[in-house]
Structure 1
Amino acid sequence: MLSPSICDQVRRTAPLLQAEGQALTRAFYARLFRFHPALREMFNQGHQHDGEQSRALAGAVTAYALHVDDPTPLRPYLARIMHKHVSLGVRAEHYDLVGQELLAAMDEVFAGRLDAATRDAWAAAYGQLATLMIEEEAAMYRASAVGEGGWTGWRSFRVTGRHCESEQIVSFELAPADGGRAPDFLPGQYVSVRVQVPALGFSQVRQYSLSAAPDPRTLRISVKREIGGEAAPDGHVSNVLHDSVFPGDLLELSPPAGEFVLRGTGHTPVVLISAGVGATPLLSMLARLLEQPSPPPIRFLHACRNGTLHAWKQPMRDLVQRMGPSSVRVYYERPEPGDVIGRDHDHAGRMDLAAVREDVVLPDADYYLCGPKGFMREQAGALRALGVSADRIHAEVFGSGDWQT
């Protein structure tokens, strides 16, 4: 437990962090990769390039400074970080290196503005948080190892199938190369995939949601090809997977992780709202829900640009036959001439939840959102405007940072 004086000293740095947090985190990452280059493999170099990781870390450090005496409000964010750490293989020794370089970056960026007592307070605060996370992550590693088909670290999987879902998305069916059982998982979870990236000269790790129901024989991931632009490079891992990975090839996977999973009882109404590749974890949830002898009330709403980019088009139309037309709604923001309303999609234009309020607002329902951050903020705001409680709205974030900011 940190003393009140340590908490006060850390909390007093919050204005400085709010003003110059990104300068601190940029210096931190520069030091980390310069002195510990092997750690580059754990960090998304695309997000290093566009600054997303620096912004996310700056926000996290500032939030901890503000809540250092009671981090309870940060628990959901910390849970997401810990799941990702376990998926990446972060261990106790990595926390020592991160703490060392974070404090050194503070000395460098805040030179002359951070006295020795405040620096020592930050060392104590970081140490307490690191100990908490190391202990909880150790328990998560143990749980991964003892679960059905479980393991820790990296395990080889052979690609047994490859399916083009749309112009941008490819699904890969993966079976354990050792002939053992595929792991059980909670629908909505993801695995990390590690591949060598020739353009970088070292490996990179990315998280991909499992897009089918649990199966003791195989896992399925669905990967969108990420095309960059002036602000960011092409996705390093997604392009390797699209261009170079075919049936018979091997991929390294970590055990399933993630806290974006179905909540409530098996009878709780569920509303699934996705855009683009954000459908992946929701498809796994939907498959599990429909396996139940008496599924709860379910609504599934999906948005994409047009029919060319509409992944899982036929499976979604099949759902209409199974669940009823009011239960599944597909939105094309910019339909092409060949896209037929009533056959390919149900609505033209952006998703508008208020227009289908009667079908979407279900008593005591849980709402699951996945897609671009802007899309999730827009739909969460629409749900709150319709009277849905914020604690009933759950979201999955692809990438760094908080979807709500």
Structure 2
Amino acid sequence: MSGSTAVLTQKTIDTVKATVPLLEMKGTEITSHFYSLLFSRCPQLLNIFNQTNQKKGRQPEALANSVIAAAKNIDQLGNILPVVKQIAHKHRSLGVKPEHYPIVGENLLAAMKEVLGDSATDDVLSAWEEAYNTIAEVFISVESEMYEESEQQYGGWAGFRPFHVKKKVEESDVITSFYLTPADGGALPDFEPGQYVTIKADVPGEKWLHLRQYSLSAAPGLDYFRISVNRETASGPFPDGVVSTYFHNELHEGDTIELTAPAGEFTLNHSERPVVLLSGGVGLTPLMSMFQVLVRNQNRPVTFIQTAQHVGRHAFHEYTKKSAEQLKFVNYFAAHDKVEGWAVTDSYVQKQGLIDADWLRPRVPGREAEYYFCGPLPFLKAMKRILLTELQIPEEQIHFEFFGPASDI
């Protein structure tokens, strides 16, 4: 990828980098206008994009961050390769194809021109068109390899594949697991613990299809996939989650849904270091897959720290507790915002309130471990700050996953 800038002239590089201050001021305004243009001109793309993320402003903000990062690194695009791979996994999972890129480029440039006005000179637009096409070529190349690998692996497939809901299990007041088996009776591919699948939901009464990405919450190598879905309830001006409500209320055992093959970069590495898993709420789902693999392999000490609002929101507690009781290499601790009910007398629930460095430090192996954490944005920010600045964990041993479009933590 680092060599892909060879086709860019120095004038293009300088012009794009010079737009960084403008983009930092007006980036989200540009990307919000971009999505408005895109969907008005190509409404069929509403079948791909998450409309909830659009309404909450997450997708425009995430795209703005990506555009700014590209502008800052246009002379060294290799610097953003990890982000490219992360986004490419999502694109492959959603079914983004090469023919989508010219449509996106045309509307992104139109949005820049309309929002920036006189600042969007012909030189600026020409430079950004050249830069966009170069970056698009990189994405198309990376995604092409991912599509090929996904289809050609044992049990793999292209596009969406129908699955039956074999079993539906309530894990907490808000989280329900769905055990999914291929409708064609064929094999399942292996996957890396921590990966996700994209589900296609045709919700009654909704004009467009809804695609959602859910982490696989069970270990690979089984005869089913498992996803554990959090019921998204109304918050402020935003109503109950369309897809999660449909899953909880309308999707039953024996029903059929379609999904794409597993994808994602947030995966358990193969070092021999001890592992620490830190989850906030439903962020435990990819970590549960990792935990099951660690329990099965019994080759690395593991500490699982789960946080939840209260007992009604705490999923998989009994399973994790039983594993810790039976296996010497497993440690388990939990923290609740409000300790009540069975948690009052449960020795594994050891804290009320937010995790802090003083509570965490004696419960983890320190700098010798690999740390994986997942949860809502405030949880991610807190964990990264504690691990980096207070526990002095090397950054290369810290791994985290966003649910939804990536933000800057």
Shorter-chain TM-score category?
over 0.9
SS state at 2:165 partner = strand
Q: Could you say which residue in structure 1 is the equivalent of 2:216?
A: 210
Q: Distance in 2 between matches of 1:127 and 1:53?
A: 21
Contact 1:279/1:302, CA 8 A, preserved across alignment: yes
Contact 2:274/2:365, CA 8 A, preserved across alignment: no
Q: Distance in 1 between matches of 2:150 and 2:341?
A: 49
Distance 1:157 1:57, change over 3 A: same
SS state at 2:304 partner = strand
Q: Could you say which residue in structure 1 is the equivalent of 2:187?
A: 181
- Out of 127, 135, 145, the residue aligned to residue 129 of structure 1 is 135
Once the two structures are superposed, the pairs formed by residues 188-337 of structure 1 within 5 Å of their partners are 188-265=194-271, 267-292=272-297, 294-324=298-328, 327-337=331-341
Superposed CA deviations along residues 14-45 of structure 1, whole A, max 9, x for unmatched, are: 11111111111111101110110110111110
Whichever residue aligns with residue 125 of structure 1, its letter is A
Q: Could you say which residue in structure 2 is the equivalent of 1:389?
A: 394
| Residue 39 of structure 2 corresponds to residue 33 of structure 1 | yes
SS state at 1:252 partner = strand
Whichever residue aligns with residue 144 of structure 2, its letter is A
- Out of 87, 108, 119, the residue aligned to residue 114 of structure 2 is 108
Q: Could you say which residue in structure 1 is the equivalent of 2:160?
A: 154
Q: Distance in 2 between matches of 1:234 and 1:59?
A: 28
Q: Could you say which residue in structure 1 is the equivalent of 2:3?
A: none
Q: Distance in 2 between matches of 1:403 and 1:246?
A: 37
Superposed CA deviations along residues 318-340 of structure 1, whole A, max 9, x for unmatched, are: 12212359811011111225532
| Residue 349 of structure 2 corresponds to residue 345 of structure 1 | yes
* Alpha-carbon offset, residue 83 of structure 1: 0.5
SS state at 2:187 partner = coil
Contact 1:156/1:251, CA 8 A, preserved across alignment: yes
Superposed CA deviations along residues 277-299 of structure 1, whole A, max 9, x for unmatched, are: 1111111011111221x421211
Q: Could you say which residue in structure 1 is the equivalent of 2:48?
A: 42
Contact 2:333/2:348, CA 8 A, preserved across alignment: no
Contact 1:208/1:222, CA 8 A, preserved across alignment: yes
Contact 1:183/1:216, CA 8 A, preserved across alignment: no
Q: Distance in 1 between matches of 2:408 and 2:320?
A: 26
SS state at 1:402 partner = coil
Q: Distance in 2 between matches of 1:63 and 1:213?
A: 35
Q: Could you say which residue in structure 2 is the equivalent of 1:119?
A: 125
* Alpha-carbon offset, residue 344 of structure 1: 6.3
Q: Distance in 2 between matches of 1:141 and 1:354?
A: 45
Superposed CA deviations along residues 243-284 of structure 1, whole A, max 9, x for unmatched, are: 11011100110000000001142x221111001111111110
* Alpha-carbon offset, residue 355 of structure 1: 2.3
Q: Which stretch of structure 1 is more off in the superposition, 318-327 or 106-115?
A: 318-327
How many residue pairs get aligned? The number is: 402
- Out of 392, 395, 404, the residue aligned to residue 399 of structure 1 is 404
Superposed CA deviations along residues 85-136 of structure 1, whole A, max 9, x for unmatched, are: 0000000001111011111111221222211121111000000000001001
Q: CA RMSD in A?
A: 1.6
Superposed CA deviations along residues 160-199 of structure 1, whole A, max 9, x for unmatched, are: 0000000000000000000101221000000000101334
Q: Distance in 2 between matches of 1:374 and 1:323?
A: 32
| Residue 83 of structure 2 corresponds to residue 73 of structure 1 | no
Whichever residue aligns with residue 333 of structure 1, its letter is D
* Alpha-carbon offset, residue 403 of structure 1: 5.0
Compute the TM-score of the two structures, normalised by the length of structure 1. 0.96
Contact 2:304/2:333, CA 8 A, preserved across alignment: yes
* Alpha-carbon offset, residue 148 of structure 1: 2.0
Distance 1:74 1:232, change over 3 A: farther
SS state at 1:112 partner = helix
Percent of residue pairs bearing the same amino acid type: 39
Q: Could you say which residue in structure 2 is the equivalent of 1:370?
A: 374
Q: Distance in 1 between matches of 2:26 and 2:342?
A: 51
* Alpha-carbon offset, residue 317 of structure 1: 1.4
Q: Distance in 2 between matches of 1:224 and 1:274?
A: 14
Compute the TM-score of the two structures, normalised by the length of structure 2. 0.95
SS state at 2:209 partner = strand
Contact 2:165/2:256, CA 8 A, preserved across alignment: yes
In structure 2, the gaps of 5 or more residues are: 1-5
